[in-house]
C-alpha cells in the first residue's frame, strides 16, 4: 500500500517536471481575463425634501462614511469670483449653537472626520459614533454660524494666499491656463483676485449659501457598517425636513479651440523654471463609447513614469523631473493637458518634443506590448483605488449624475482590456489636438521667448491675469520716463534728499506673524552700511544677522556662520541708509524702466535694478504717491533658488521722514511658499544705536 502511494507521488512529480520543460520562459505569460469587480449595488431612497439617498451596506469594518453632494453644475461668479470657495470654508466655522472650537472638539471626541465645502459635506466615523458625527455634519450644513469674525479671518487668509502665490509660476500657470482655454467669463476660466476678495462681504456669503446650499439636486451616499433602513431613518431625521432653493443645471455655450496652434507666453522674470501646458478643450462624457480608449490613450502618453512624455523629457533629454498628460471627462467641456516644468533655457526644445509625442500617438499605432503594459498598470492603479471607501462611495452618485449604465464600474476593467490599438489611434486623433492646440508657457521670457519664436508657431504675450500684452508696449508707455526721475520722486516722497542725508542711524521694532507664530523683530542700521536684525520668540533669538561694514554673520538658534564673500560684497555696495541715494550717485548701478504694472489696483513703475555685483531685482514705485510698493528678487542658497517678494504699505511720518509700517514678505523655494507679516510698532531716528550693536 505504501509503495502504491510512493509511485503515485513520483508519477505526479514526473508529470510536473515534464510540463515544466514545455514552458517557454522567454515569453511573458498571457494575462487572464479581467474580472468583474464586486461592487455592491446601492439601495436607493428619496427623502421627503427630494434628496437622493444611496446606501451601500458593508460590514467588513465597524465604520461608516457619508458624503453629501449638491449637483450645482457650473456657476459664473463674475466680479465675485472666489465667493463660493469662501462660503464653503465658512461652513466649517461652527453652527448657530456651537462655536467653531466647540464644534471641532465635538468631532475630535468622536474620532470623526467632518468637513464641509461649497458642494456639500462629508462625515466618517466608527459605527457607534456615526450617528453623532452625521448629525454634526447635517447641523453645519443647515445652521452655519456665519460670524463676522470668521469671515474676516478667512478673507484675510485668502488674500494672504493670493499674495504669497503672486510670483509663483505654477500658481500663475494654473490661473492663466484655464482663463486662456475657456475665456475669463467662463466658470472654469474666471479666477480670484485680491481686489475681488477684498470687496466681498459677509452678506455675499449668506446670499451664496441661500442660493446653493440646498437639498435640491442633492445626493447623499452612505457606505459602511449600517443597514439601509437605519441609514434612511437617520438621514430623514437629520436632513429630511431641510428646505432650500431649487437648483437648475446651468447650460453654457461650447467654447472653441484655437483655429491654429499658437504659443501663449506669460513672463515671470523671477522664475527659474517655466511651466509648459499644451491644452485643448474636449467634450468627452463618461457614457461616451470613446471614454475607455481615450483615458487609456492619455495614460500611454503621460500617465506616469512609464509613459511616453516622461520617458522622453526626463529619461532621454533630462529636461524635467516629470512630464504628464491628463484628460478631463464629464458633462461639461474639459481639457486635454500635457504638462512639464522645464528650466527656461530648454523650453523651446521641450515644447518641440512634447508636440512630437502628441503627433506620434495621433499617427502611429501603439505596439501590442505597450498597450498590454499600459492596461496592466492602469488596471492596477484603478483596483488599488478601490481600497478607499471615500472613492467607491462616489460611484453610485456618479452613475446617476452622468447617466451611466448600472454596471459601469463593475465592468470597468473589462472595458479597459477591450481597447485595441486601432481605438487608441482613433481617439488620439479626436481628442489630442496638434494643429489647433494652445501651448501656454509661464516663466522667464528673457531666456525662452526668442527660442519659441523660431518654432514657426505664432507667439502671443499675456500678463499674469491672461490679458493680452503687445510686445514692447509696456516699454513704449514709459519711453519718456527716466529711471532717475522715478528714484528722485521716491526720495522726495520719503522726505527729500537733505533729510535722508541727515539720517545717521535708526532702530525699528516690529511684530511679525509667521504660520500662526508671533515673533518680535528688532532692526538697527548705522551709516554708512552697518546693519543688524534680530528675530526673537519669547525672548529667545530665533534668527539674527549682523554686518559691521566689513564682515558679518547669520545665526539660527545656536548655529552661527559667517556671511559669504558674495553676501559681503553685496552689502558693501551701499554707502547710505537709503539704497536709492546710491542708485543716483554710483554709476555702477544699472536702472531701467520696464513698464507700468498694476500693484494693489494702482499703476506702478516697474524698475529693473542691477547692482555693482550683477544681482538684479525688480522694484515697483506707485505712479501717484511715488512710494516704493513692492520689491522682487532671487537669491541662490545652497544651490536652491529662493524667490522673495516684499510688499510695502501704510507709510507713516516719523520726524521728517516716511517709513512703511507694514511689510509682507513672501519667499518661494522648491515649490514651497512662506509668508511673513511684519508691522512696525516703533521707530527711533538718530539715537540709541552704537557700533557695539554690530558685533
692: DSSP letter: G
Residue owning grid cell 514705485: 621
Q: What is the chain's percent helix, strand, coil content, to nearest 5?
A: 35, 30, 35
Distance in angstroms (rounded) separating the CA atoms of residues 674 and 666 = 6
Identify the burial level of 344 via C-beta atoms within 10 angstroms of its C-beta, where 0-12 means exposed, 13-18 middle and 19 or more buried.
Answer: buried
* DSSP bridge pairs for 652: 659
Distance in angstroms (rounded) separating the CA atoms of residues 602 and 480 = 20
DSSP letter string, 254-279: PPPPPSS-EEEEEE-TT-SEEEEEEE
Inter-CA distances, 539 with 65, 193, 536, 678, Å:
47, 38, 6, 17
pTM of the predicted model as reported, rounded to 2 decimal places: 0.73
Per-residue confidence (pLDDT) for residue 147, from 0 to 100: 97
* DSSP bridge pairs for 505: 526
25: DSSP letter: T
The pairing of beta strand 517-526 with beta strand 505-514: antiparallel
CATH class of residue range 262-470:
alpha beta
CA-wise closest residue to 617 among 582, 645, 596, 577: 645
The SS3 call for residue 438 is strand
Per-residue confidence (pLDDT) for residue 10, from 0 to 100: 33
Per-residue confidence (pLDDT) for residue 645, from 0 to 100: 85
CATH 2.50.20.10 domain locations along the chain: 477-694
Sign of CA dihedral 313, 363, 355, 286: negative
DSSP letter string, 504-568: -EEEEEEEEEETTEEEEEEEEEETTTEEEEEEEETTEEEEEEEE-SS-EEEEETTEEEEPPHHHH
Query: Which three cell numbers mark 666?
Result: 513672501
Please check whether residue 657 is in contact with residue 506, taking contact to mean a CB–CB distance below 8 angstroms: no
Extract the residue ranges of the chain whose pLDDT is less than 70. Answer: 1-37, 389-390, 471-477, 636-641, 669-673
The reply to whether CATH 3.30.830.10 applies to domain 43-239 is yes
Per-residue confidence (pLDDT) for residue 594, from 0 to 100: 86
Residues 6 or more apart in contact with residue 590 via CB below 8 angstroms: 608, 609, 610
CATH class of residue range 477-694:
mainly beta
Per-residue confidence (pLDDT) for residue 62, from 0 to 100: 97
Query: Which three cell numbers mark 617?
Result: 531685482
In the sheet with 52-57, reading across from the earlier edge strand, the strands are 43-46, 52-57, 218-224, 63-70, 120-126, 113-117
Phi/psi of residue 648, nearest 5 degrees: -110, 135
CATH 3.30.830.10 domain locations along the chain: 43-239, 262-470
> DSSP H helical segments within 560-678, as ranges?
565-572, 579-585
Distance in angstroms (rounded) separating the CA atoms of residues 174 and 186 = 15
- CA 279 from chain centre, in angstroms, equals 18
Residues 6 or more apart in contact with residue 297 via CB below 8 angstroms: 327, 361, 424, 427, 428, 431, 432
Amino acid at each position: 500500500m505504501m509503495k502504491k502511494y510512493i509511485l503515485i507521488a513520483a508519477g505526479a512529480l514526473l508529470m510536473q517536471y515534464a510540463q515544466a520543460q514545455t514552458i517557454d520562459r522567454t515569453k511573458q505569460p498571457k494575462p487572464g481575463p479581467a474580472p468583474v469587480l464586486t461592487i455592491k449595488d446601492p439601495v436607493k431612497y428619496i427623502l421627503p425634501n427630494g434628496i437622493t439617498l444611496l446606501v451601500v451596506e458593508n460590514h467588513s469594518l465597524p465604520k461608516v462614511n457619508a458624503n453629501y453632494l449638491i449637483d450645482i453644475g457650473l456657476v459664473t461668479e463674475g466680479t465675485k469670483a472666489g465667493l463660493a470657495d469662501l462660503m464653503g470654508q465658512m461652513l466649517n466655522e461652527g453652527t448657530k449653537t456651537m462655536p467653531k472650537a466647540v464644534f471641532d472638539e465635538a468631532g475630535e471626541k468622536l474620532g470623526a472626520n467632518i468637513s464641509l465645502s461649497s458642494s456639500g459635506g462629508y462625515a466618517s466615523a466608527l459605527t457607534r459614533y456615526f450617528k453623532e458625527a452625521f448629525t454634526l455634519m447635517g447641523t453645519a450644513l443647515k445652521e452655519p454660524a456665519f460670524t463676522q469674525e470668521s469671515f474676516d479671518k478667512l478673507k484675510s487668509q485668502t488674500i494672504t494666499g493670493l499674495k504669497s502665490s503672486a510670483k509663483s509660476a505654477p500658481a500663475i500657470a494654473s490661473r492663466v491656463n484655464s482663463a486662456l482655454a475657456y475665456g475669463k467669463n467662463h466658470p472654469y476660466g474666471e479666477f480670484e483676485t485680491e481686489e475681488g476678495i477684498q470687496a466681498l462681504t459677509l452678506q455675499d456669503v449668506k446670499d451664496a449659501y441661500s442660493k446653493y446650499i440646498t437639498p435640491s439636486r442633492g445626493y447623499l451616499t452612505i457606505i459602511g457598517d449600517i443597514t439601509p433602513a437605519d441609514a434612511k431613518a437617520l438621514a430623514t431625521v437629520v436632513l429630511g425636513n431641510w428646505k432650500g432653493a431649487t437648483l437648475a443645471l446651468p447650460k453654457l455655450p461650447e467654447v472653441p479651440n484655437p483655429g491654429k496652434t499658437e504659443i501663449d507666453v506669460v513672463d515671470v522674470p523671477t522664475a527659474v523654471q517655466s511651466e509648459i501646458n499644451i491644452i485643448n478643450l474636449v467634450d468627452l462624457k463618461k457614457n461616451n463609447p470613446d471614454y475607455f480608449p481615450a483615458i487609456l490613450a492619455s495614460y500611454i502618453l503621460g500617465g506616469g513614469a512609464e509613459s511616453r512624455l516622461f520617458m522622453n523629457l526626463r529619461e532621454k533629454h533630462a529636461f524635467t523631473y516629470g512630464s504628464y498628460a491628463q484628460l478631463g471627462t464629464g458633462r461639461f467641456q474639459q481639457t486635454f493637458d500635457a504638462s512639464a516644468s522645464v528650466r527656461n533655457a530648454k523650453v523651446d526644445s521641450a515644447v518641440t518634443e512634447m508636440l512630437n509625442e502628441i503627433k506620434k500617438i495621433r499617427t502611429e499605432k501603439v505596439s501590442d506590448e505597450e498597450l498590454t503594459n499600459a492596461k496592466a498598470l492602469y488596471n492596477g492603479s484603478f483596483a488599488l483605488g478601490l481600497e478607499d471607501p471615500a472613492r467607491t462611495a462616489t460611484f453610485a452618485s456618479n452613475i446617476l449624475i452622468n447617466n451611466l449604465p448600472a454596471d459601469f464600474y463593475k465592468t470597468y476593467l473589462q472595458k479597459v482590456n477591450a481597447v485595441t490599438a486601432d481605438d487608441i489611434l482613433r481617439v488620439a486623433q479626436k481628442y489630442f489636438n496638434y494643429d489647433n492646440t494652445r501651448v501656454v508657457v509661464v516663466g522667464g521670457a528673457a531666456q525662452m521667448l526668442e527660442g519659441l519664436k523660431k518654432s514657426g508657431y505664432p507667439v502671443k504675450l499675456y500678463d499674469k491675469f491672461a490679458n493680452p500684452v503687445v510686445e514692447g508696449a509696456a516699454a513704449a508707455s514709459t519711453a519718456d520716463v527716466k529711471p532717475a526721475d522715478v528714484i528722485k520722486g521716491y526720495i522726495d516722497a520719503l522726505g527729500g534728499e537733505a533729510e535722508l542725508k541727515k539720517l545717521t542711524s535708526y532702530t525699528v521694532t516690529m511684530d511679525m506673524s509667521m504660520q500662526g507664530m508671533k515673533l518680535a523683530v528688532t532692526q538697527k542700521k548705522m551709516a554708512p552700511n552697518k546693519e543688524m536684525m534680530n528675530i526673537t520668540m519669547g525672548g529667545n533669538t530665533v534668527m539674527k544677522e549682523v554686518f559691521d561694514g566689513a564682515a558679518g554673520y547669520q545665526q539660527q538658534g545656536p548655529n552661527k556662520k559667517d556671511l559669504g564673500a558674495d553676501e559681503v560684497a553685496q552689502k558693501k555696495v551701499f554707502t547710505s541708509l537709503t539704497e536709492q541715494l546710491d542708485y543716483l550717485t554710483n554709476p555702477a548701478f544699472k536702472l531701467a524702466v520696464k513698464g507700468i504694472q498694476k500693484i494693489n489696483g494702482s499703476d506702478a513703475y516697474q524698475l529693473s535694478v542691477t547692482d555693482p555685483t550683477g544681482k538684479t531685482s525688480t522694484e515697483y514705485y506707485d505712479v501717484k504717491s511715488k512710494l516704493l510698493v513692492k520689491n522682487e528678487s532671487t537669491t541662490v542658497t545652497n544651490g536652491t533658488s529662493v524667490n522673495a517678494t516684499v510688499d510695502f504699505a501704510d507709510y507713516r511720518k516719523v520726524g521728517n521722514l516716511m517709513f512703511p509700517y507694514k511689510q509682507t514678505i513672501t519667499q518661494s523655494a522648491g515649490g514651497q511658499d512662506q509668508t511673513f507679516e511684519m508691522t512696525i510698532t516703533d521707530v527711533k531716528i538718530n539715537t540709541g544705536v552704537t557700533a557695539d550693536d554690530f558685533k
